[in-house]
Structure 1
Amino acid sequence: MTVTREPSSAAPRPGRHSAVRSLLRLWPYVRPVRGRLVVGALSAVVASCLGLLIPLTLKWIVDGPVAGHDPSGVWLGGLALLVLGVAEAGLFGVRRMIVAGPLARVEADMRAALYARLQRLPVSFHDRWPSGQLLSRATTDLMLLRIFLSFPLTFLLVNGVTIVVGCVILLQQRWTLGLVLLAPVVPMVVLCSVFEERYARTARKAQDQIGDLTTVVEESVLGIRVIKGFGRHRGQERAFRALSWRLWETELRKAGLLGTLWALIVILPELAIGAALVLGVVEVGDGELSAGTLVAFLSTALALRWPVESIGFLLAITNESATATDRFFEVMDTAEASAEDAAAPVSTGVRVKEPGLRLEGVWFRYPDAPADAPPVLCGVDLRVRPGETMALVGATGSGKTTLTALVPRLHEPTAGRIVLDGRDITGLSRERLRELVAVAFEEPTLFSASAAENVLMGAPDAGEERLLAALAVAQAEFVHELPQGRRTRLGEQGLSLSGGQRQRLALARAVIGDPRFLVLDDPLSALDVHTEALVEAALREVLATTTALVVAHRPSTVLLADRVALLSRGRIAAVGTHHELLHTNREYASLMSGPAGPEGGDPR
């Protein structure tokens, strides 16, 4: 029952993944807090370097007070170790306090930017992308990036500096033993290079699978009535289990890669430390090396264990963060390439004498349609006079809904243009176009807000009087009987209401702003006969003062219109009044016919 898919609009993935190149794209969001990040990183570097002074203090204690049997010197050395330890812990604590707030702000800014871009993307983008993939990018991926910026990014620098400084100290203590400890460096670099590419591919696969899993969960919650109604809960459970199993296998591969790298990174330095210990003991026994120097040397080597062993863990998080960055910018880059105004020609802004709504040679095909698929609309020419209501009639699949979506620029025409009151709609800002054109769809969408807030989305500045008038036109006074009246919060997508109630609220939302142009896509299909008659009577008054394009299936809805346009196979086949087309066009007469004859009944 459930079909999951990879987002077809994802950017093409390069043959070799560059984590550094991906993460550098975060700079515009990190730049405002760069000062605090630098201070935090410097605090951590200083703290780590203070930790490397502890072995040198131990050397002084062993070769000095201990060898000379000086108890006061031992106490002094112990105090120095205590001060160094407290200072190291304090600086690490300061770093965390400095960066916590700014990095939470970076995450919030990125999430706000992603949400804003999603709002500006055309409908065709959202048609192609599963919502779960977008949700995982806005939540899981951005949380991972905040974690990366707060810990791995800093400690890649801190541990790198610590390793370099520690190696210098080791070579100064005893360069021969230092070279023994540095022997594993070359094989570790090779291992990390191989690991990075493999882990990046596996991490990307896991993140995409999380998006697929999120999509299934969301669809199951929103479609719970269908699932229960058809008894498909076991099928959904099997689909969810299959996706979970695939994600589990991918996570196991990630864990296997990380475990293998970590084991090798731990084993190689441990072998080197063991070899250095044996050689150092021999040299101490031969009198070539002091005991304090050996203690300092081994203490420094042990202090470098965590910076070295953490390389695998830090690289893993870095690669996951790089893939999360790629996924974030897939949406942001698509927005830049597909925004509503990007592909639209620039209008000259010259007005023509004819007001009203005109479609001139409009063609449309979906961007991801097969190359051999016919266009949805083929050279549509249509004129709706000022103050006129035009009904749009056609068989299922003829392109009616697509045509109505072009007027408010939910989709962009492939060719041709649409003109409102003499101005090409591509020359209007989105804000101005939304003020001029109001829409109501057959499948109404309501939000988890109050009934009044849902209606006021059509005109946020409307007062109480206009709200009540819009509810009256749509015969939506039922909201007054809800538990908290108009302030009653509706369930997700308004599913606590009936289909007819949702349609009436959507219609009220469309008319509350007194739009210059009204586009209605079969807005009365879910109403009973008596409610439909009441809504139509009130709607006539609204239609008398606006220019409207109404998709209609029922003859009763068609009769609201001054004229009717028949859309057939993506073309306007005929235009005329309802009675004219009944007598002159066989296809129209067939569409309008029903059990009660050509003048009545529901044609569907």
Structure 2
Amino acid sequence: MPKSDAPSKDRSTVRTLLRLWPYVRPVRTRLITAAFVAIVASCTGLVFPLVLKWMVDGPVADGDPAGVWLGALVLLLLGVAEALLFGLRRWLVARPLASVEAAMRADLFRHLQRLPVSFHDRWASGQLLSRGTTDLMLLRMFLAFPLTFLLVNGATILVGVIILLGQDFTLGLVLLAPVVPMVIACAYYEGRYTAVARRAQDQVGDLTTVVEESVLGIRIIKGFGRHRSQARAFRELSHTLRGTELVKARILASIYAVIMALPEAAIGAALVLGTVRVADGDLSTGTLVAFLSTALALRWPVESIGFLLAMSQESATATERYFEVMDAEPEAAGPRTADAAAPAAGGGLQFHGVEFRYPDAGPDAPPVLTHIDLHVRPGETMAVVGATGSGKTTLTALVPRLHEVTGGRITLDGEDITAMDREHLRTLVAVAFEEPTLFSATVGENVLMGAGKTAGEAELDRALEVAQADFAHALPQGTGTQVGEQGLSLSGGQRQRLALARAVVGRPRFLVLDDPLSALDVHTEALVEAALRRVLADTTALVVAHRPSTVQLADRVALLSGGRVAAVGTHQELLRENAEYAWLMSGADTPAEPTVEPTAEPTAAEEAAR
């Protein structure tokens, strides 16, 4: 999974955060209004010291109780006004920011669906999950609090400084003395904190991956007694994340130490100097009280800078991680060869000089498939047979464009599939994989996923009959029964039959089956094959097969060897004429010499992908 332990070198924090603008723009009016309300509320708090100055130098000094009560009433009204304004700000931002988070999450999910299979092969699911949850939560918090209060506190500090300098210029300069060292310290710690924050968020993604894999693979973990090793892996990642978080805490503590110590020292110095001047008669008591009250009112805006900057850095990292996924290129047509636009002769499914290599393969790596020329005639069923690693599954994945060909072309009824809209292509081609995937939905919803929106109970019952999946009617709620995550509440054979039903429910023109009967017992397999023959008679099908019983469903058989088509013929012809095919079908211990030598051993990545 591509990730970085350092922030992007060519994009500042501000430029990174500006990428959120398209999502913020629709709610900008409410956010700007909320920021203005917050500035007014914060500046209202700066009126308190001015009222105190009037009270100390006026009613208190003159012994006027009525004036003191008037001042207290003014302070009470100011406090109520400040509280109401901050409450209004919170109300203004709550709904729009929830909408922003929802829009970003929806865009991320849609984009993930459009990204090619090769992208998902490279990225750990936990990393993608953390971007859609933790990172978006950080961004919502940033828009709700740091973004607003960096502006609010900046405006408050500016107004406060003007008030301080207006009350006493000399004491104001004393309080401004720490500004330069604070700016230098913040700039020094910014880069360090950003790098550590990025590392921590990536480690959260790694930890999420381990948790997810442990939950989904709980049967394997328990079956092999690997709970201790999984717990150890979790502990090690947790310990690493803990160490990173402690580094973040140390950096943040250093920022806080500087930001809090220097202003406190300046306030202390101003207090001493102001007291001396009051004693000398150069400064009124009310002015000193108002000055110190204003300085204390500015403590929170100043001290919060470290916290707000830290949250901004984490939010910039979250933004960067979010757009790492959003910037990934969605599925695009594969490169065409020079003759890609030439009209194709005949109908059915045709492979014209098809070559394929995986996107992450090295430049010198040989292709997984090379010079594949194959014609499945309209209405014909072609079985694909070959040894493990010969490229059978890869070949079938090219038809619905789960992978893009890197050479040659594939046509359906004479039309190049790269010229078709993917959505249209996948309404023409239905697939069933050897490893069936079911979703946390009802049996009916899982099966009808392979049909159009108008499909109903009649289509569902027909598909279940073809796949010999009538067991669905005997479930507690029939076809309305929830099958649970990954369908693990069902047996392997039941899941495979439901996946087959999903493939045939839409009556597709082209059917691609990757060893769809491997998990069935021989009796159920015979029943499924008998029903499947009726479906295959009305469609053009490409079927990966390992067993003679599955091969006999086909009109013809293509033998793959070393990424090439070694032979094509009927099952009986190949048994008589091809030694490698006869060996594959016989299950003998000693292999025959392959008809076509493999071009090269597949790489580890290619073998894993197959």
TM-score per shorter chain, which class?
over 0.9
**1:90-129 equivalence runs, <5 A:** 90-129=84-123
* Alignment match, 1:451: 443
Deviating more after overlay: 22-31 vs 67-76: 67-76
* Alignment match, 1:488: 481
CA distance in 2, matches of 1:392, 1:243: 44
Letter in 2 for 1:305: R
* Alignment match, 1:602: none
* Alignment match, 2:597: none
* Alignment match, 1:430: 422
- Give 1:348 deviation, angstroms: 8.7
User: Which among 159, 167, 174 is matched to residue 165 of structure 1?
Assistant: 159
**Residue identity (%):** 72
Q: Does 1:540 align with 2:496?
A: no
* Alignment match, 1:34: 28
Give the structure-2-normalised TM-score. 0.94
* Alignment match, 1:372: 364
* Alignment match, 2:560: 567
User: Which among 63, 71, 79 is matched to residue 69 of structure 1?
Assistant: 63
SS in 1 for 2:315: helix
Q: Does 1:56 align with 2:47?
A: no
CA distance in 2, matches of 1:345, 1:283: 85
User: Which among 142, 146, 149 is matched to residue 152 of structure 1?
Assistant: 146
* Alignment match, 1:417: 409
CA distance in 2, matches of 1:358, 1:77: 90
User: Which among 53, 65, 87 is matched to residue 81 of structure 2?
Assistant: 87
CA distance in 2, matches of 1:510, 1:12: 45
CA distance in 2, matches of 1:388, 1:340: 30
User: Which among 384, 393, 408 is matched to residue 400 of structure 2?
Assistant: 408
SS in 1 for 2:402: coil
C-alpha distance after superposition, 1:271-320 (max 9, x if no partner): 00000000001111111111111011000000000000001110111111
Q: Does 1:188 align with 2:188?
A: no
C-alpha distance after superposition, 1:107-166 (max 9, x if no partner): 000000000000111111111100000000001110111011001110000000011111
SS in 2 for 1:153: helix
Unaligned runs of at least 5 residues, structure 2: 592-610
* Alignment match, 2:14: 20
Letter in 2 for 1:385: R
* Alignment match, 1:474: 467
C-alpha contact (below 8 Å) 2:6/2:199 kept by paired residues: no
User: Which among 309, 314, 320 is matched to residue 320 of structure 1?
Assistant: 314
CA distance in 1, matches of 2:417, 2:366: 25
- Give 1:379 deviation, angstroms: 2.0
- Give 1:597 deviation, angstroms: 13
- Give 1:15 deviation, angstroms: 3.0
CA distance in 2, matches of 1:434, 1:392: 21
Q: Does 1:394 align with 2:386?
A: yes
**1:134-533 equivalence runs, <5 A:** 134-334=128-328, 337=329, 339-341=330-332, 343=334, 352-459=344-451, 460-533=453-526
CA distance in 2, matches of 1:13, 1:333: 16
CA distance in 2, matches of 1:521, 1:11: 40
CA distance in 1, matches of 2:52, 2:465: 86
C-alpha distance after superposition, 1:382-433 (max 9, x if no partner): 1111001000111111111111111001111111111111111111111111
C-alpha contact (below 8 Å) 1:17/1:200 kept by paired residues: no
CA RMSD, Structure 1 to Structure 2 (Å): 1.8
SS in 2 for 1:471: helix
SS in 1 for 2:388: coil
C-alpha contact (below 8 Å) 1:131/1:215 kept by paired residues: yes
- Give 1:9 deviation, angstroms: 7.0
SS in 2 for 1:412: coil
C-alpha contact (below 8 Å) 1:10/1:330 kept by paired residues: no
Number of residue pairs matched? 589
C-alpha contact (below 8 Å) 1:425/1:433 kept by paired residues: yes
Closer, same or farther: CA 169–9 of 1 in aligned 2, 3 Å: closer
C-alpha distance after superposition, 1:410-464 (max 9, x if no partner): 1111111111111111111111111100000000000010001000000142121
C-alpha contact (below 8 Å) 1:390/1:562 kept by paired residues: yes
* Alignment match, 1:591: 584
- Give 1:69 deviation, angstroms: 1.6
CA distance in 1, matches of 2:391, 2:421: 26
CA distance in 1, matches of 2:10, 2:273: 43
Letter in 2 for 1:437: V
CA distance in 1, matches of 2:396, 2:440: 26
* Alignment match, 2:594: none
SS in 1 for 2:133: helix
CA distance in 2, matches of 1:253, 1:343: 45
- Give 1:343 deviation, angstroms: 4.8
* Alignment match, 1:552: 545
CA distance in 2, matches of 1:479, 1:291: 87
C-alpha distance after superposition, 1:540-563 (max 9, x if no partner): 010000000000000110111111
- Give 1:371 deviation, angstroms: 3.0
C-alpha contact (below 8 Å) 1:357/1:385 kept by paired residues: yes
C-alpha contact (below 8 Å) 2:156/2:301 kept by paired residues: yes
C-alpha contact (below 8 Å) 1:452/1:487 kept by paired residues: yes
Letter in 2 for 1:79: L
CA distance in 2, matches of 1:596, 1:266: 78
Closer, same or farther: CA 285–12 of 1 in aligned 2, 3 Å: closer
CA distance in 2, matches of 1:533, 1:510: 19
* Alignment match, 1:3: none
- Give 1:174 deviation, angstroms: 0.6
Give the structure-1-normalised TM-score. 0.95
C-alpha contact (below 8 Å) 1:200/1:320 kept by paired residues: yes
C-alpha contact (below 8 Å) 2:447/2:505 kept by paired residues: yes
SS in 2 for 1:156: helix
Unaligned runs of at least 5 residues, structure 1: 1-6, 599-604
C-alpha distance after superposition, 1:54-108 (max 9, x if no partner): 1111111111111122111111111111111111111000000111011001000
C-alpha contact (below 8 Å) 1:349/1:427 kept by paired residues: no
- Give 1:246 deviation, angstroms: 0.2
